[in-house]
Amino acid sequence: QKIQLSEKKRPILHLSGQRTVNLRFGITEANLHSIHGKLILTLPAGINVVPFKSDELNQVKEAGAAKMMLKSIVNNQVTVHYSGLTRNYLDVKAYNSAGQELKWKSKSLPPKQDAIDIDLLMTYEGTPDRIEIVTASDIIQREYPFILKQ
């Protein structure tokens, strides 16, 4: 199975999606009468961008119920500490001294738990001068059942 999402601008800004589904042996498109499914859309709400300069090591900052801290920047590696709901942790972005966003080489991802209190390590293509920890105040989930008929 494959899924592909892309941004469309017409008639209004929206996401468009396409999904490829493998049919069970013996089922063909000709004898398929309908497909029943459910689209589950999970979106962050209340985006928080928490900035840290390279000289703000070990300073705790808060966004909603989450607490975070920049622990270290050593060459191209950044260690942050995050305490809060896993689902509300979105990303860590890094910028060089010229203000250009750095691409990441590797990132540790938080475990699939409700709440976490852990260090996360990121490696970037360049030396970070500042970082931004991106979180959400809430995660909204909507379900849209559908039936496709031939």
Q: What percent of the chain has pLDDT over 70?
A: 98
Q: What is the pLDDT of residue 1?
A: 57
Residues facing residue 146 across a β-bridge:
37
More confident residue, 138 or 1: 138
Mean pLDDT of 58-81: 96
More confident residue, 35 or 1: 35
Among the ranges given (24-28, 42-46, 99-103), the one the predictor scored with the smallest mean pLDDT? 24-28
- Give the predicted TM-score (pTM) of the model: 0.77
What DSSP letter does each residue of 51-94 carry, written as one string? EEETT-BT-EEEETTEEEEEEEEETTEEEEEEEEEGGGEEEEEE
Q: What is the pLDDT of residue 105?
A: 95
pLDDT tens, 3-38? 777 778 877 877 778 878 888 888 888 888 888 889
> Cα(97)–Cα(84) distance, rounded to whole angstroms?
29
